[in-house]
Amino acid sequence: MAEYLLIEVVLWEDFLNAMSKTRLQDEYNQAIRECDLFVTLVGSKVGRYTDEEFETAHAQFKATGRPLIFTYFKDVQISSASVNRADMASLWAFEDKLKVLGHFPTRYTNTDQLKHEFNQQLDKLLASGSIRVASHQPEQSQKSPKVDAGPTAGRAYPVDGYLRWLRSHTESIELRGIERAGGALVVSLPLEAAYVPLRARPIPRPGDAQDKMAAQSLPRPRSRGDAGEKTEPDERERDSDIDLNQVLGLGNRLVIIGGPGSGKTTVLLHMAWALASSLLTGQAEPAQSRLGLLGAAASELPLPIFVPLASFARFRRELPANAPARERTLTHFISYHLIRKQADVDLPDDFFVQLLRDGRPVILLLDGLDEVANEEERAEVRASVEELVSGQERMRVVVTCRTIAYRSGGTALGVRFREIAVQPLDFEQHVVPMVRQAYACIHPQDADLRSERVQELLGGIRRLEDDRRTRLGDDTQVLVDSPLMVRLLLIVHVNNRTLPDGRAELFDKAISALLQVDYGREQADIRELASDWKVFRDMAQHLAFHMHQQGRDQGREIGERALQKVLREEAEFRPHIDLFLSHARQRGSVLEERQGAYRFIHLAFQEFLVARYLREVTGDEGREAILAVLGDRLDDPWWREPILLLAGYRASNAAKSARDFLGALARVGGEPNAQFSAAELAGTAALEWRECGEATRGGCARRIVELLADESTLRAAMPVVRARAGDVLSALGDPRFDQERFWLPADEMLGFVRIAADPEFRIGTRKVDVERVAKIVGREVDDREINDAPTPTPEYLIARYPVTVAQFRAFVEAAHYEIGDADSLRDPDSRAVQWVSWHEAIAYCEWLNEQLAGSPLFEGSDAGRLVRQHQWRLALPSELEWEKAARGGLRGAVFSWGNDVDPSRANYADSGIGDTSAVGCFMANDFGLYDMIGNAFEWTRSLYKPYPYHPDDGREDLRAADDVPRVVRGGSWFNPRGYARCASRDWDDPGVRFDDVGFRVVLRSSPVE
């Protein structure tokens, strides 16, 4: 089926010519605010209304990230006899405006060239996900009902009964696994009291960073205000974090993404409860203050409709093949779902359609896009959501989805949906009130006991986190970072009064608590445990392993008939199946039933039970049997958590066996991706286990280094897999670097590589190569990189790697240097440093030069002798030195490795990593230098001046003013291949910092002044 781009072109001439209530231009401006792409074609002048329309588009873009703005200037012949001075002045003024905005327009000479240029932009937008490709479907299929602009007066619907039902089903949170005195099986926490607003971060949409991908003329300007820059310490380009109860103020199309157990569903339940409560009472509260709808009257509040998307997918799947297309739509399902769930409420069959036709404000709360079992179905559900909301500008929609699922496959919704990422819990802001409010409900009558339990649990969490930081470092991720983890700790604490250290042991105790429904610690006499809870645990792990084997698409839920078939495989389970299912349906267990299908109440429980099955059942046949099961699953993200939890579970039961298992795991895997994944998983598990020991961690680190050093394995593995392994290597302690020598490379040359003098070297791109290079990189070659003059290079030494975070931190701590941005030290130690200004890079060079010249640490080293005995100096490379090194001896090549586009050879946009990576995760060039292309732009000492390149023309002046830009080279993780190549030039002001700019150093014999 052919793919096509559907673009609605709004023609000004198609507006009604009749007099409107406002200026007709206002009608045009409103259309501009609502469009996605705004294209300005400029000829010999820029009229008053064209300028107004551009200002309207730009203001809307700054506020919302839309529309994307493109400007095209036609090169026209202007006669001096007919030129109009006012017209030319308007043209020049408009050009100056664009320059101030840092926007470079594209020029064209004829219509064919214009179409070609714009088609290239559409291709880029398509590749970046900024516009959506639709598959052609007949117009009559699955169209959303057209709605009027406003509600029809005098029409009423029986929604009060529905709202009462909705409020009753959302007004409390169930906390299973804790038995209160008196035998209650579930602790019910009132949502109004127990809900704690979490923190969220709005993710910039593709259009929000248009300055970084806009006009493709070179070089890309990098001035204050560009995405990725920090103009003040700790000031970020990204939006500020907000409370999740304020997200409705961010727009009508929202996707809340987060990890497992991050509280996404609870956010929707809270929205439904608050809106239902306000609509029933006719009062703006609690919805107004709790949902960020300040100023909204009760009559303006939207009707909340909560829909689990997994149920919609299952409904579609079970429809007969000849079912009408209308019945497959989300519109139809919503009415069906509501009527089925509320049999006692008199709702018409077309309840939801009537709401839309009347224009009643509605908010759809669509839960669990990631829980749709099949990836193909997930794409269909996503398309159904987009189909429903298309044209429904007044309808609010909030979708929840796991982060990993949303950013893979065909799950992501269109660019009109704003992504809101749930952030990890803050201890004081979230964990403390969650624990206090939970215990207030568990012990409502005993303040002393309540206070004692709160302090015990909070103290235990603090000790748990402090201990992790002690052994893993201050920057280690906290363990209790989600509502799920708080819940598990609460269950374990209430029932056991102690807290385990590792996740596996925590899950083990929590699942035991969930299954032991008759277990009561609140009574003076502990009653006898139910005799069958251990059988239930074995049944659950058997079922979990079977489901997980079905893969991500099919392994999340199972029908009742299939479930019974799986459990009947084991004779000991057969007598207990009915009771096992009864617990899931009625009393709550590790399983829950949703309209005839069963799933674990959280994927994390399923993952742990898979790990437990591997240890307790498969493990009976020995370690090799477990590794054989995992062999072709090592690089499958679906199996990542079970493997890590398996290691943790073994560690909590048999330490020596666990160490042996990690050592074996680190060295298994047939394909390169599996080998890197196995080593990374072993290293991650070793980091999580306190008693693992340095020998085991060191063995995992050495294995990753071996893989990085194996050229064939390195090149064949996916970049994202290598990058993940590189980060784990950094956390384990990277043996490639010497901690005692400020984390410089562990060899006598301290990582410096000799570059021989080259009297025939020529910087830049030759004029005859321009067309060839442009074809390879898919964009024009900037005139400012064209050079045909020889530029001989002297002998010098250059660092094998860019300066790492650990090396830069060593400088900051040793020199007591006050950096401008603390985020330069927050990445994993072995990553290329970023957020560093040119001045800070120079300061590092001066400090390290002093260490090489005088520190006893470098006495006798080859690099130290060059500084001490031959007066070589450490500096930033010149632009000429940088390019000579980057080419690796290849003359005229586009990239460090040759002329072929290859995202596996450098960390740039096409590699898919989306951030800096540990140095050395990509192959070296023929000089043995890593990361010359991609990862992070690298400062040079050269001023940005045109070619021809003359070293003595003042471009190497280190004392030039700060308003003169310095050259940065190499491209970064963010950039397309047009920037990530040997000859591409870019610049930054020396005082700015970006999230994709770092540096490397050289040793040279001639002085640098």
Give the pLDDT band (50/70/90) at residue 217: very low
pLDDT of 28: 75
**Weakest-pLDDT range from 114-123, 727-736, 935-944, 990-999:** 114-123
Residue type at 773?
V
Question: For residue 935, what are the contacts with CB-CB under 8 A and spacing of at least 6?
Answer: 802, 832, 906, 907, 916, 917, 919, 922, 970, 972, 973, 998
Half-sphere exposure for 69 (CA within 13 Å, toward CB): 27
pLDDT of 368: 86
Q: Which two tokens stand for residue 171?
A: 């007004």
pLDDT of 538: 94
Taking only the tens place, the pLDDT of each residue in 139-150 is: 333 333 333 333
Strands 106-108 and 68-74: parallel
pLDDT over 90 (residue 902): yes
- Average pLDDT value for residue range 952-963: 92
Taking only the tens place, the pLDDT of each residue in 374-418 is: 678 888 898 899 888 887 878 899 999 877 667 665 678 876 888
pLDDT of 534: 87
Nearest-10 Cα torsion for 59, 64, 65, 68: -60
pLDDT of 596: 74
- Average pLDDT value for residue range 718-746: 96
Residue with tokens 């409560």: 277
User: How far apart are alpha carbons 439 and 458 in whole angstroms?
Assistant: 12
Ranked by mean pLDDT, the top range of 150-159, 490-499, 537-546 is 537-546
Judge whether 296 and 288 are in contact, CB under 8 Å: yes
Identify the CA nearest to 878 among candidates 801, 964, 798, 802.
798
Biggest alpha carbon distance in the chain? 106
**HEC per residue, 704-756:** HHHHHHCHHHHHHCCHHHHHHHHHHHHHHCCCCEEHHHCCEECCCCCCEEEEC
- Average pLDDT value for residue range 129-134: 56
Identify the CA nearest to 910 among candidates 920, 895, 925.
895
Judge whether 493 and 460 are in contact, CB under 8 Å: yes
Find the helix or strand (DSSP H, E) in which 103 lies: none
pLDDT of 197: 86
The sign of the dihedral angle between the CA atoms of 864, 865, 867, 872 is: negative
**HEC per residue, 941-1006:** EEECCCCCCCCCCCCCCCCCCCCCCEEEECCCCCCCCCCCCCCCEEEECCCCCECCEECCCEEECC
Top-confidence residue, 551 or 802: 802
pLDDT of 156: 46
**Weakest-pLDDT range from 23-37, 213-227, 662-676:** 213-227
The DSSP secondary structure of 301-314, one letter per residue, reads PPEEEEEEHHHHHH
pLDDT of 205: 56
User: How far apart are alpha carbons 496 and 939 in whole angstroms?
Assistant: 57
Ranked by mean pLDDT, the top range of 110-119, 464-473, 577-586, 626-635 is 626-635
User: How far apart are alpha carbons 686 and 648 in whole angstroms?
Assistant: 9
φ/ψ of 186, rounded to 5, equals -135, 135
Judge whether 927 and 889 are in contact, CB under 8 Å: yes
User: How far apart are alpha carbons 72 and 51 in whole angstroms?
Assistant: 14
Residue 907, strand partner residues = 934
Top-confidence residue, 152 or 871: 871
pLDDT of 931: 98
- Average pLDDT value for residue range 81-107: 73
The sign of the dihedral angle between the CA atoms of 230, 233, 235, 241 is: positive
Judge whether 725 and 679 are in contact, CB under 8 Å: yes
SS3 243: strand
Assessment of whether the complete model's pTM goes beyond 0.75: no
User: How far apart are alpha carbons 801 and 879 in whole angstroms?
Assistant: 17
User: How far apart are alpha carbons 147 and 869 in whole angstroms?
Assistant: 83
pLDDT over 90 (residue 229): no
pLDDT over 50 (residue 3): no
User: How far apart are alpha carbons 399 and 414 in whole angstroms?
Assistant: 12
Averaged pLDDT of the chain = 82
User: How far apart are alpha carbons 50 and 46 in whole angstroms?
Assistant: 6
Taking only the tens place, the pLDDT of each residue in 240-297 is: 688 888 888 888 899 999 876 788 888 999 999 999 999 999 998 898 888 888 777 8
Cα–Cα separations (whole angstroms), residue 959 to 794, 938, 1004, 1005 = 23, 19, 19, 20
User: How far apart are alpha carbons 937 and 840 in whole angstroms?
Assistant: 15
Judge whether 626 and 617 are in contact, CB under 8 Å: no
- Average pLDDT value for residue range 549-563: 90
User: How far apart are alpha carbons 142 and 329 in whole angstroms?
Assistant: 6
SS3 400: strand
User: How far apart are alpha carbons 268 and 273 in whole angstroms?
Assistant: 9
Nearest-10 Cα torsion for 279, 283, 286, 288: 100
Identify the CA nearest to 720 among candidates 672, 683, 686, 688.
672
Give the pLDDT band (50/70/90) at residue 691: confident
Burial class (CB in 10 A: 0-12, 13-18, 19+), 793: buried
pLDDT of 131: 63
pLDDT of 227: 39
Question: Would you mind telling me the total number of residues written for the chain in this entry?
Answer: 1009
User: How far apart are alpha carbons 187 and 172 in whole angstroms?
Assistant: 10
Neighbours of 770 (CB within 10 A): 16
φ/ψ of 407, rounded to 5, equals -100, 20
Residue with tokens 């073994």: 650
User: How far apart are alpha carbons 544 and 540 in whole angstroms?
Assistant: 6
User: How far apart are alpha carbons 696 and 79 in whole angstroms?
Assistant: 79
User: How far apart are alpha carbons 286 and 191 in whole angstroms?
Assistant: 12
pLDDT of 758: 96
The sign of the dihedral angle between the CA atoms of 567, 572, 575, 579 is: negative
Cis, peptide link before residue 361, omega less than 30° from 0: no
pLDDT over 50 (residue 235): no
Cα–Cα separations (whole angstroms), residue 532 to 135, 540, 607 = 53, 12, 22
pLDDT of 139: 37
Ranked by mean pLDDT, the top range of 201-205, 629-633, 749-753 is 749-753
Give the pLDDT band (50/70/90) at residue 182: very low
Give the pLDDT band (50/70/90) at residue 352: confident
User: How far apart are alpha carbons 606 and 245 in whole angstroms?
Assistant: 30
Per residue in 26-58, is it b (16+ CB within 10 Å) or e — as a string? Answer: eebbebbbebbbbbbebeeebeeeeeebbebbb
**Weakest-pLDDT range from 15-24, 192-201, 301-310:** 15-24
pLDDT of 89: 72
φ/ψ of 295, rounded to 5, equals 90, -10
Judge whether 645 and 507 are in contact, CB under 8 Å: yes
pLDDT of 136: 39
Question: What are the percentages of helix, strand and coil residues in the chain, rounded to 5?
Answer: 45, 10, 40
pLDDT of 105: 80
SS3 37: strand
Top-confidence residue, 486 or 924: 924
pLDDT of 620: 81
User: How far apart are alpha carbons 287 and 275 in whole angstroms?
Assistant: 5
Q: Which two tokens stand for residue 262?
A: 């991050």
Separate counts of helices (H) and strands (E) for the chain: 35, 27
Residue type at 158?
P
Strands 591-594 and 597-600: antiparallel
Identify the CA nearest to 364 among candidates 307, 316, 421.
307
pLDDT over 80 (residue 341): no
Q: Which two tokens stand for residue 76?
A: 């026209």
Neighbours of 155 (CB within 10 A): 12
User: How far apart are alpha carbons 87 and 84 in whole angstroms?
Assistant: 5
